[in-house]
Amino acid sequence: MLVYSVFYYSKGISEDYDKLRQQVKEGQHVKLEDNHNKQLKSCSLVDQLLTLPQYLIPQHSLSVLMHRLTQSNVTWFKNLFIRFICWKFKVNLDEAATADLTDYASFNAFFTRQLRDGIRPVAEGDDIIVSPVDGAISQLGKVSHGRIIQAKGRDYSVTELLGGNQLLAKQYESGQFATIYLSPRDYHRIHMPVTGKLVAMRYVPGKLFSVNPRTARAVPELFARNERLVCQFETEFGPMVMVLVGAIFVGSMETVWSGQVTPPYGKAVQDWQYTGEQAITLKKGQEMGRFNMGSTVVMLVPGKMNDFNPRWQAGDAIKLGQAMS
């Protein structure tokens, strides 16, 4: 298994070069040697070695086990689990609607806790994009030649992120993206960055690598390989997509319109279309989904929307409701 995992890891890196060569063929003027140097700088040997075990472990089985543990209502266990996470990740309980840890029925109830009313004011303005979550900005900027930056020296295809939907991907050729990482200490409900009408949802099966910064540097096309939910909305500025990316130990992903989507984990792409009363409209700042444990949200917005404010840079901490444009 170790030999196979090393081979698989090397294969993933080689696939990057195949795609770079294809870009050259398509006239995108990509210099292979420059990209090679960028990847060496962005992904150290330490990053690669520390990420390698993720190829060996049973990602989905461990995530199912974690989901069961987080649902446990055994009092001593869930209280111990909650206190450990609060200590380890310095969770700010002053912001929670319920600050008493013993009031939570399970660890999952704590992890998906509500915030106090008014603690996250939403920036006003219909044309202002706000952060949909608490977290740290992994990357943000313009979509370039149908590709998104994952980390320094790494990028991936919008089409692959969207589960092969080429028609949808083309609508973001002049658009923008923002990738925001949620750590275990963060608030784990996801809200709308602008007002939008639900159009469709696609479940894309995949791996469950960690989505922390080190893994983003080491694993090629991480966000287009992991399991994900592609949630499509129509806004007054054009189509918008929110991609909820699964990760190791993310016990479940759910939306306000469909409830829990994972687990169980599927093996095939699944699509849902929403019309009539099912095509709900969610206001800016309204909850649209949630994670159990940390993960990542990738937001795609059309070119007609205001550009992201250049003051926001990769690595910046950001809070739900803060103006991004």
Q: 109 to each of 78, 105, 114, 253, 293, how far by Cα in Å? A: 10, 6, 9, 14, 11
Amino acid letter, residue 17 = Y
Quote the CA–CA distance of 193 and 123 in Å, as a whole number. 10
Catalytic residue among 138, 210, 295, 325: 295
> In sequence order, what are the beta bridge partners of 181?
136, 296
Quote the CA–CA distance of 178 and 297 in Å, as a whole number. 8
Verify whether residue 191 is a known catalytic residue. yes
Amino acid letter, residue 55 = Y
Verify whether residue 271 is a known catalytic residue. no
The answer to whether the beta carbons of residues 153 and 262 sit under 8 Å apart is: no
The answer to whether the beta carbons of residues 10 and 51 sit under 8 Å apart is: no
The answer to whether the beta carbons of residues 123 and 185 sit under 8 Å apart is: no
Quote the CA–CA distance of 106 and 75 in Å, as a whole number. 8
Question: b/e per residue, 236-268, with b = 16+ CB within 10 A?
Answer: ebebbbbbbbbbbbbbbbbbebbeebbeebeee
Catalytic residue among 47, 67, 131, 134: 134
Catalytic residue among 191, 210, 252, 325: 191
Q: 43 to each of 37, 38, 48, 193, 319, how far by Cα in Å? A: 10, 8, 7, 31, 28
Verify whether residue 134 is a known catalytic residue. yes
Quote the CA–CA distance of 213 and 126 in Å, as a whole number. 32
Q: Which residues are catalytic?
A: 134, 191, 295
